[in-house]
Amino acid sequence: MPSPTDTQQTCTVPLSDLSRRATGAAQWRLEKKEDAQTPVFHYNNLSVYICGEESFRQIADDIKKAERSIDIVCWGFDPAMELTRTAGRWKRGDTWGDLLRSAARGELARKQKVRVRVLCWYDSLGAALGGSNMPGYRTDASYELKAAPGRGMAAALVPYGKLPPLPEPADPKDQREMFNSHWYRDVVAGKMEGVSLRTRGGVHADVLASLKAEIARTRGATVGGIERAGLEWMATHHQKTIVIDYEGADPRAYVMGLNSVTDYWDTQAHRYNDPLRGENFEGSDKDHSVGMGWEPGSSGAPTLKPYQDYACRIEGDAIVAVYRNFVEAWNKAEAKGPGAGAPASGEIDLKAPPPRLFKNLKSRCSGAQILRTLPDSEGGERSIARLYYQTSSFARHYLYIENQYFQNTDWARALKDARQAFVQGCSSASPPIPLSRIPVLHVIVVTPTPERGQMVPRTHDTVAELGHGDSMPNQDEEIRKALARRDQSQKDMAEYKKRRAAHDARGTDTALYTPYAAMEPPPSPPQPLSDIAQSYVDAGGARDSQKTRDLLSQTLGMRTLVASLWTYDAEWREDQLPIAKRIDEEKPLHARQQKEWDDDQAAKKQASARTVEAGGWRVYTDTRMPPTPPVDRSQQLKNAKALRYREIYIHSKLMIIDDSMFTLGSANLNLRSFAADSEMNIASDDRYKAQDLRRRVWKQHTNKQFDGGADATDQAAMKRTFNNWEREASNNLTNKRNGLSLTSFLVKFLDERTSVIRLG
């Protein structure tokens, strides 16, 4: 990957002869010729929304006010997803399908017919493997198949309204399936006037070329066969954007991490069991809440799991880049069927955005860049990766990462390299600036439990770079055992060679002379390290986590923390658990049996003693076995306690640095998002927006306790905040292990699984 010097503009900063000081500026934006496709847009009003409830409410409001067009790019699209929700079962509010259909018919607030275009990623292999990003697309509702066998997709060939209606299903699950199936069927067949749909699949050949180039640039980025196949054949178009009324009087756009699928709707309260999120049949019921055995199952809760993510609403000239991305992608997508719509037309000049984009702005504007990852056949852009490497090199006080996949080891190493260069530059100044006078860099990472066990190795490699390999203790231990076996084997071979050399020298060193050394077989040669262990070594691992943290602190002035987010059931009681009741029942039963056996043994001993005292023989007549010890149900109790908690799934792709810049969007911090999938992020160097977002996010995660204050670049304030976060995360992990209440969402990251297979 690029180094910071590859992405930064060089400049000359004058140094005062009197004060021997200079003032420079951090370069948060990409400004070199290589980034011509990512110009800086200066006139924007940006609004960042946290979680699905407030994000989708604002999106629904903008859709209702649309006058001319709605253009959507998404990874997944669920027509039955409600953007706004009230109590009850599905439908709980305005759905995507109803809103878009009503907009096209001119039935919304403006009473104008609106052109609607939806571009979604769809891959037949992904669908065959159980993908659910387009529920109802190319499928029939199970209710319809049972009620009218043979009807199915043939309905698309029948003139609209000619098929006799089926009875309305009573079950919300059947109603929802029918809604999605019919919505997609009508759009594809061209029966929904004004609404067009196109899909696009992965570009496999491009992914192979991208991976080869990426591996050549990075350190420790070896990609094995299984991982390479997954990246190649399951590469996705992962962008999530909306543009409304681009050619109208009031254009606005969104760049998001949120998918337009019902799983991603949640409130900032992240309640343990919230009916508004939807029932498990509405989305994916996989949950991270049941400990080491969670992968195939769920928490058992009846509602979908909590989600954390963001959306950025744009009013201003940056919309031109979001719209251009839509137009290029729409026109390259294959147009299938009457519902595919016409190609998008119009000249789009990034250097001359139409004035209508920013004529209605409020006075204070924000600068913004629109960044992408694109396959080579669609432009070959890698500006998201370039931004991550560049901006993190300027971090001086804090760097906050909230990301679904914290799996880019090369980026973590580049962060440390940049910090080392900064520290060395300070120490070589005249006069030198000691480490004690350099601001401490606080690195806070918030990431979820990897959703698959095969993601454990890459996550472990990356957190280990920051001194947190012990947050994945069993993976850490397996690697250490492999390294210890290798080291012992090398030691045995060295000692053998030493003994053999002494023998060959005919005993010149009598202490080492072994007369039978010539007959001693050599030990087996050291076995090659596994790919996982070798990758750990190549990535700079193989050292104790605490020592790594100490080294980062003592030599680079860096402190690091890795945490997750969890919520809990406030009404839960341990004494009401079935397993706890069973333990309570078994304890007195075993105690009674043990007492009866002890009393019986004591009585027999007394009887035998009396016999001996009377002159008889000691009698051993007891053949009764002692009572069986109670079954150890501690693991069952531990698993039952784990069900009190649900992990808040962090789907976020957020970075904030020094109250000075932020970026969010669709790109994860992994190889896939930097080189394989198509992605889009927005970045801004508006310090007021960055500071406000940081305070809102930190306040949410810590239950309004530790938001970092008005200025997180104040070293004393940031030190207090970091210490509070460390303590809060550690205490909550202890509470979680013991089945106790959490004092906030923040919990120290812990994953006890292991894997010898790597997937990214």
Give the angle subtended at the CA of 635 by the CAs of 629 and 637, to the nearest 5°. Answer: 95
Task: Give the whole-angstrom CA distance, residue 575 versus residue 754.
Answer: 32
User: Do 173 and 321 share a domain, yes or no?
Assistant: yes
Instruction: Please answer whether residues 445 and 466 qualify as being in contact, where contact means their C-beta atoms are separated by less than 8 angstroms.
Output: yes
Residue 178 has pLDDT above 50, yes or no: yes
Task: Give the whole-angstrom CA distance, residue 181 versus residue 154.
Answer: 12
Which residue did the predictor score with more confidence, 208 or 707? Answer: 707
Residue 329 domain-assigned (yes or no) = yes
Mean pLDDT, the chain, whole residue set = 88
Read off the pLDDT of each residue in 102-129 and give the average, rounded to a whole number.
89
Give the angle subtended at the CA of 260 by the CAs of 255 and 264, to the nearest 5°. Answer: 95
User: pLDDT at position 348, please?
Assistant: 92
Read off the pLDDT of each residue in 399-418 and give the average, rounded to a whole number.
96
Instruction: Please answer whether residues 484 and 490 qualify as being in contact, where contact means their C-beta atoms are separated by less than 8 angstroms.
Output: no
Which residue did the predictor score with more confidence, 189 or 597? Answer: 189
The 10s digit of each residue's pLDDT in 677-705 is 999 999 999 999 999 999 999 999 999 99
Domain boundary among 464, 491, 519: 519
User: pLDDT at position 218, please?
Assistant: 63
Residue 516 has pLDDT above 70, yes or no: no
The 10s digit of each residue's pLDDT in 269-290 is 999 999 999 999 999 888 877 6
Question: CB under 8 Å to 90, separation ≥6 — which residues?
Answer: 80, 82, 172, 175, 176, 278, 279, 282
Q: Which of 694, 227, 745, 725 is nearest to 461 (CA)?
A: 227
User: pLDDT at position 167, please?
Assistant: 80
3-state secondary structure 62-115: HHHCCCCEEEEEECCECCCCECCCCCCCCCCCCEHHHHHHHHHHCCCCCCCCCE
Residue 496, token pair as written in the block: 């053998």
Residue 394 has pLDDT above 50, yes or no: yes
Is the peptide bond between 699 and the residue preceding it cis, with omega within 30 degrees of 0?
Answer: no
Q: Which of 179, 323, 162, 301 is nearest to 251 (CA)?
A: 323
DSSP state, 425? Answer: H
DSSP state, 182? Answer: H
Domain boundary among 340, 359, 391: 340
Report the amino acid identity of residue 540: G
Task: Give the whole-angstrom CA distance, residue 239 versus residue 668.
Answer: 11
Residue 50 has pLDDT above 80, yes or no: yes
Domain that holds residue 314: 43-201+237-274+308-340
User: pLDDT at position 748, please?
Assistant: 98
The 10s digit of each residue's pLDDT in 650-666 is 999 999 999 999 999 99
Which residue did the predictor score with more confidence, 484 or 231? Answer: 484
DSSP state, 351? Answer: T
Band of residue 147 on the pLDDT scale cut at 50, 70, 90: confident
Label residues 53-78 b or e (16+ Cβ within 10 Å = b). Answer: bebbbbbbebbebbbbbbbbbbbbbb
User: pLDDT at position 160, please?
Assistant: 46
Residue 192 domain-assigned (yes or no) = yes
Which residue did the predictor score with more confidence, 462 or 643? Answer: 462
Band of residue 345 on the pLDDT scale cut at 50, 70, 90: confident
Domain boundary among 464, 492, 519: 519
Residue 3 has pLDDT above 80, yes or no: no
Residue 495 domain-assigned (yes or no) = yes
User: pLDDT at position 162, please?
Assistant: 59
Number of domains the chain is built from: 2
Neighbours of 10 (CB within 10 A): 7
Supply the DSSP string of 136-160, one letter for each residue. TTT---HHHHHHSTT-GGGGGGSPT
Which residue did the predictor score with more confidence, 265 or 226? Answer: 265
Q: What percent of the chain has pLDDT over 90?
A: 58
Task: Give the whole-angstrom CA distance, residue 274 versus residue 648.
Answer: 12
Residue 114 domain-assigned (yes or no) = yes
Residue 373 domain-assigned (yes or no) = no
**Beta-sheet strands, E only, within 421-570:** 441-446, 558-568
User: pLDDT at position 626, please?
Assistant: 83
User: pLDDT at position 171, please?
Assistant: 92
Residue 197 domain-assigned (yes or no) = yes
Residue 730, token pair as written in the block: 């550690």
In this structure, the chain runs to a length of 760
Residue 498 has pLDDT above 90, yes or no: no
For residues 209, 210, 213 and 219, what is the CA-based torsion angle, rounded to 10 degrees? Answer: -140
Q: Which of 509, 202, 221 is nearest to 376 (CA)?
A: 202
Read off the pLDDT of each residue in 10-27 and give the average, rounded to a whole number.
76
| Least confident residue range of 70-74, 235-239, 610-614 | 610-614
Question: CB under 8 Å to 51, separation ≥6 — which residues?
Answer: 266, 267, 268, 270, 307, 308, 309, 310
The 10s digit of each residue's pLDDT in 304-327 is 999 999 999 999 999 999 999 999
Band of residue 582 on the pLDDT scale cut at 50, 70, 90: confident
- In CATH, what number is assigned to the domain containing residue 96? 3.30.870.10
Band of residue 292 on the pLDDT scale cut at 50, 70, 90: low
Which residue did the predictor score with more confidence, 130 or 208? Answer: 208
Instruction: Please answer whether residues 66 and 244 qualify as being in contact, where contact means their C-beta atoms are separated by less than 8 angstroms.
Output: yes
Which residue did the predictor score with more confidence, 591 or 419? Answer: 419
Residue 57 domain-assigned (yes or no) = yes
pTM comes to 0.90
Neighbours of 219 (CB within 10 A): 15
Task: Give the whole-angstrom CA distance, residue 243 versus residue 252.
Answer: 6
Residue 518 has pLDDT above 90, yes or no: no
Residue 470 has pLDDT above 70, yes or no: yes
Instruction: Please answer whether residues 110 and 199 qualify as being in contact, where contact means their C-beta atoms are separated by less than 8 angstroms.
Output: no
Residue 512 domain-assigned (yes or no) = yes
Residue 157, token pair as written in the block: 């060939």
User: Do 333 and 482 share a domain, yes or no?
Assistant: no
Note the Cα 52 to chain centre separation in Å.
Answer: 16
Read off the pLDDT of each residue in 364-376 and give the average, rounded to a whole number.
94
User: pLDDT at position 594, please?
Assistant: 85
Residue 616, token pair as written in the block: 């008889």
